[in-house]
Amino acid sequence: MTRWRDGRAMLLLPVALLLRWPHSSLELQCGQKMNTSEKSEVLEIIGGVPANIRDFPWQIRILENGSHLCGGSILSEWWILTAAHCFKSKNASTLEVTHGEENLDTQNLTKIKVDKLIIHNYFDSWFYLNDIALLLLKSPLSLGVRKVPICLSEVTAIERWRNCWVSGWGTTVPQRSTETGLQKVNIQLIKWETCFELMPLLTKSMLCAGDLEGGKDACQVVAGIPGFCLACRCILLLSASIFNNGDSGGPLVCQKKTRKSKWYQLGIVSWGVGCGQKKQPGVYTQVSSYLSWIETKTKLSKRPYKHEPDSGYSLLLSPWAILVLYFLMFLLSP
């Protein structure tokens, strides 16, 4: 009888260890912590409010020769996710990232140089296809309260997401200069079919978010033009007239309806027809379309990144699955 009880105790010990391990390890790796009200006042970004970096601890900014270039997000201590269109005629030697501060005017910012710039091989600067890039840092980020990786997900069905936000240092009013303070705006995901009717250049690797009534958006405008017709877009892109207002490359993040304690990056700020205009939502690179690309490129660079499974745990490490398994073993033990 004693040996039988000891045997069951040995079975239950791994349960306790494995249940604790995912919560103490995987739970703290990404998507924590963002204490943002779901209700947003109509103020700036377009239509956003000033943000604290503790609300968006995965947000970083990319500098070129010391000047703000684009936004980005922390994937790991080594990797930054951003938009490819930020880096036309740029090279890694002129790039740095800063993190942990929401204000561009903060003195003595910690800067980390970029070791490698990886732009998607099939990025199309005319139509912003495959608008995604990775930055490998020369030295690792020191992760903490103000520097937290964002989670990635394979889930594409927009009905499974809630409470979506986009953040950045872009202009708060079209045709004005970049803001010095980090801004945030609460926006809605828009069905691909609905957005395609409004913006026929949309592809399946893009997603739309914003407010169809206008007034809320990340800002990426064509130089000197607050809005432009879709038919004109190709000509304007051909003339390389895109004017980057600072939000580009930044993250669009949401919570799962079934998992409200964690945040996932669904999109990368890519392009739009003007800023915050009615029936002209912002267009984002859909990150879920590029998970294999991200993992392949990071592995080739000897700093492999692997996103968490959608549940937040791998099947073998699911605490409830482990609990059920060991409970059955306990019952079936002789």
pLDDT at 51: 79
Mean pLDDT by 10 residues, the chain (334 residues): 51 46 48 55 47 88 92 96 94 92 67 97 94 97 88 94 88 51 88 90 93 54 34 33 62 91 94 65 94 97 89 46 67 72
Asked whether 59 and 269 are in contact (CB, 8 A), the reply is no
Instruction: Answer yes or no: 120 catalytic.
Output: no
pLDDT at 104: 61
Q: Which of 68, 85, 99, 307 is catalytic?
A: 85
pTM of the predicted structure, to 2 decimals: 0.75
Q: Which of 73, 76, 99, 131 is catalytic?
A: 131
Q: How far apart are CA 26 and CA 28, in angstroms?
A: 5
DSSP structure class, residue 301: T
- Alpha-carbon separation of residue 255 from 31, 185, 215, 282 (angstroms): 9, 15, 23, 19
Instruction: Answer yes or no: 68 catalytic.
Output: no
Q: How far apart are CA 294 and CA 307, in angstroms?
A: 9
pLDDT at 48: 55
Q: How far apart are CA 27 and CA 239, in angstroms?
A: 46
Q: Which two tokens stand for residue 229?
A: 């017709």
| Angle ∠(138,107,32) on CA atoms, nearest 5 | 60
Sequence-distant (6+) residues with CB within 8 A of 69 are: 61, 62, 63, 86, 90, 95, 244
Q: Which of 76, 248, 270, 288 is catalytic?
A: 248
pLDDT at 39: 40
- Bridge partners of residue 186, in order along the sequence: 165
Instruction: Answer yes or no: 85 catalytic.
Output: yes
Q: How far apart are CA 97 and CA 74, in angstroms?
A: 10
